[in-house]
Chain A
Amino acid sequence: MDTRSYPRTLFPGSLIVLSAVFLHAIIAMPVFPADKPGDAVRIGVLAPLSGPYAAGGTSFVQAATLAAEQANSEGGVLGRRVEVVAADTQGRVDVAKSEALRLVSREKVSALVGAYLSEETVGVMEVAASHRKVLIVPVAATAEITDRVRDEPARYRYVFRVGYSIPQWAELVVAFLSDRSVRRYAFVGAGIRWNRELGDALGRTAARAGISPAYVSYYSPGNPAFDPVAVAAAGSAPDIVVLGDPGRNSVSFLKRLREVAPGLPVFSIGGALGDARLAASLPLSGPLFVQAAAWSGASAAATEYAVRYERRYGAPPVGYSDTLPYDAVGVLAAAWRKAGSLDAAGAIAALEMGAFQGVAGTYRFDADHQARWGTGPGDLRGTVVRWERDGARIVFPPR
């Protein structure tokens, strides 16, 4: 005989508490503007709002929402309100594609902004191309995006990127390393596509400037093994460690590195360490530089944006995963105004020909629909800050 006794129903108290938790979750969920189609101009924003990249994705959607509010305060687009319809990609290609399809076919958005990871964005490009919707790419950096536009312009002419591409990123990083008289660097990051492409591009671009890699390593996101990577990176005696990780692992690696090499300079290019809430508890025994698209104090527009962002969301922007989506929505709204219609062909013509003022500077697109970032005249240059105990100080470009 089975002497075990199992209650037939769940403990009633647990059901009450679970219901309360669910209700609280629903009530406390971040609220973005109303999503019903109507007179408003709807922009579909794709970013990971859950999972390992939720931090960057949340800033992404917050900044896009702020840009829509800013556009509305300036009279909207063609006399209509701008609405952001956010979709959670979960950092997964399949989800990003299905959400893009939902935004286009069911939510009837006029254009798309996103996604976050390179892998996701390449998937979303297909949806934008097949449904003939303008797609503005803010942060995904893979060279494949511009390669596709170049190789198949008729199919992918809807795709524009406001963020920097991998070759441009490498050029910006090398410009900073040269300014710091770096001769040997160590490059460390997660073994994801973006880091590997950037590590390779950085090696090629740095070689032309006489800078060589002392150590290059990509750790597994599943089991990052920070300790031996930090020991090996410090042991290679570089002038600086370039840290490419875009997520929380950058914090863990920085801590480990500072424990074995307290004074070694670190240049974080993944964006995560630009968070002021985090910087207060980071070890600053050595210089910590952070690359950003723009930073408060770099220009009047950047300062105004930072103040507005902090007032709206209670924390300063990180300067990358928020600033570029903000500019993406601003550029899109300006292109529609310039074209005088929401028609994709009109917007594409306006984007190809025009110059658009944003937080990071003036955006102009080249023949491959890539915003011009770099060190040439008229290029967007980005900003590098150094964290200090009392906040961040802009150190590059030199003024």
Chain B
Amino acid sequence: MSPLPQVLLDGLVAGGAYALMAAGMSLILGVVKVVNLSHGAFFTLGAYVAYAMADRGIGGPVAVPLAAAIAFAFGVFLGKSFINPARSHPFALPVGTLACALLFEQAAQLAWGPHPLAVDGGAPWPGPFGVVVRRWGAVAFLASAAILGALRILLVCRPGLPLKLVAEDEEIASSVGIDVEAVRYLTFGGACAMAAAAGALLAPAGAITPTMGRGPLVLSLIVVIVAGMDSVGATFLLSIALGVLGNACAYYLSPQWSYVALLCSVALLLSARPTGIVAVPGRRD
């Protein structure tokens, strides 16, 4: 039996995971206008919360919202106390958020130790044509699609208007009475919650370690750079495409070529469309 359906399905799941991380990153870049290098740390936080819950016999339905709530609180605190005050210094934020990520890694190492931990993902479901459907993979993909769908609806409806206005022009937003700072730190907290939800959803996929967020951080940055910051749909579809491409290259060429192929595709896309594949014309600076 051909392994192609399995490879494609696994690519879909991997892409869904990239999308959830990337959507949060995209929100922060678009609204707060900050390269948040601590995004991976919130992913790790979510995975550790899932582990701590699983250790007490509590499953994902509680762990994922709990992880998101904790990350939201941390994110709001970080946004209010550090991101907003330091925004006027262009180099302070990437360095500062990187420092936060390293601080979190050290704290996680002190709290849980450097050794890998694991959460049981349960037995996979047998699918048609010999395809195996990973339980955590299916849940993560559906949750990713649902969260991104909700975000898309929020951005086109009235409650999302402050977000769009702040993203478009902070001066105009401020002049119509929007509390720009509050929008920024609440957005930052919401994006951190999305990263933590991704971490909790994907905790059964592998090993949980203090440095596990570094890989997803790089992949989400790649997706955001290529997709641009204006379309949730483009972020989702590009994430899926990169997931499938990476998996197909790993299977048909070599696993080590998968990363190279991913980065080459990104370079080609960016050389063709330097502003990302979805660019909104006429944005005010």
Q: Is the CB of A228 within 8 A of B180?
A: no
Q: Which of A247-262 contact B (CB under 8 A)?
A: 247-252, 255, 259-260, 262
Query: Cβ of B180: which chain A residues have Cβ within 8 Å of it?
Result: 4
Docked-complex contact A25 and B251, CB < 8 angstroms: no
How many A-B residue pairs lie within 8 Å, measured between CB atoms? 165
Q: Are B113 and A223 in contact (CB under 8 A)?
A: no
Given A21-B103, A50-B109, A228-B7: A3 touches B175 (CB 8 Å cut-off): yes
Name the contact of A5 in the complex, choosing from B14, B106, B181, B215 (C-beta under 8 A): B181
Contact of B215 among A28, A50, A191, A223 (CB under 8 A): A223
The reply to whether A282 and B118 form a contact with Cβ atoms under 8 Å apart is yes
Complex Cα–Cα for A281 and B106 (A): 24
Q: Which of A6-14, A65-73, A355-363 contacts B (4 or more CB under 8 A)?
A: A6-14
- Residues of chain B with a CB closer than 8 A to A260's CB: 6, 132
Q: Please tell me if A235 contacts chain B, counting CB pairs below 8 Å.
A: yes
Asked whether, in the complex, the Cβ of A235 is within 8 Å of the Cβ of B205, the reply is no
Contact status B206-A252, CB under 8 Å: yes
Residue of B nearest to A28 (CB): B110
Once A4-B171, A21-B103, A248-B116 are accepted as A-B contacts, the answer to whether A220 and B85 lie under 8 Å apart by CB is no
Listed stretches B153-161, B188-196, B255-263; interface member: B255-263
Would A6 and B84 be within 8 Å (CB), given that A21-B103, A232-B3, A232-B251 are in contact? yes
Q: Hey, what's the 0/1 contact readout for B65-100 against A, CB within 8 Å counting as 1?
A: 000000000000110111011111000000000000
Give the contacting residue for B255; candidates A6, A57, A225; CB below 8 A: A225
Also in contact, A228 and B250, with CB within 8 A (given A4-B170, A191-B256, A251-B116): yes
Query: Considering only CB atoms and an 8 Å cut-off, how many residues of chain B contact the other chain?
Result: 64
Chain B, Cβ-Cβ closest to A8 = B85
Nearest residue, chain A, Cβ from B89: A6
Q: A223-B219, A235-B3 are in contact. Are A278 and B250 (CB under 8 A)?
A: no
Q: Which of A219, A227, A251, A275 has a CB less than 8 Å from the CB of B256?
A: A219
By a CB distance below 8 angstroms, the chain A residues around B210 are: 54
Tell yes or no: B115 within 8 A of A by CB.
yes
Whether A272 sits at the interface, judged by CB under 8 Å, is yes
Q: Tell me which of B119-127, B228-236, B272-280 binds A.
A: B119-127
Nearest CB of chain A from residue B45's CB, rounded to whole Å: 14
CA distance A55 to B134 in the complex (A): 28
Roughly how many angstroms separate A151 CA and B55 CA in the complex, as a whole number?
53
Chain B residues with CB under 8 Å of A29's CB are 110
Q: Which residues of chain A are within 8 angstroms of B85 by Cβ–Cβ distance?
A: 6-11
Interchain CA distance A176-B130 in the complex, whole Å: 32
A227–B114 CB distance below 8 A: no
* A106 → B minimal CB distance (Å): 24
A213 sits at the interface (CB 8 A): no
Within 8 A of B (CB), among A335-394: none
Give B131's nearest chain A residue, CB to CB.
Answer: A260
B113 touches A228 (CB 8 A): no
A60 to B261, CA, bound (A): 37
**B265 at the binding interface (Cβ < 8 Å):** no
B contacts, CB < 8 Å to A: 3, 6-7, 10-11, 13-14, 77-78, 80-82, 84-88, 103, 105-107, 109-110, 113-121, 123-124, 132, 134, 170-171, 174-175, 180-181, 204-207, 209-212, 215, 218-219, 246-248, 250-251, 254-256, 258-259, 262
Residues of A within 8 A of B (CB): 2-11, 13-14, 17, 21-22, 24-25, 28-29, 49-52, 54-55, 57-59, 191, 217-220, 222-229, 231-232, 235, 247-252, 255, 259-260, 262, 272, 275, 277-278, 281-283, 315
Besides A10-B82, A52-B209, A223-B258, 16 new A-B residue pairs in contact (Cβ under 8 A), listed by A number: A3-B174, A4-B171, A11-B81, A54-B109, A58-B113, A191-B256, A219-B250, A222-B215, A223-B219, A224-B255, A225-B247, A228-B248, A228-B251, A229-B250, A231-B10, A249-B206
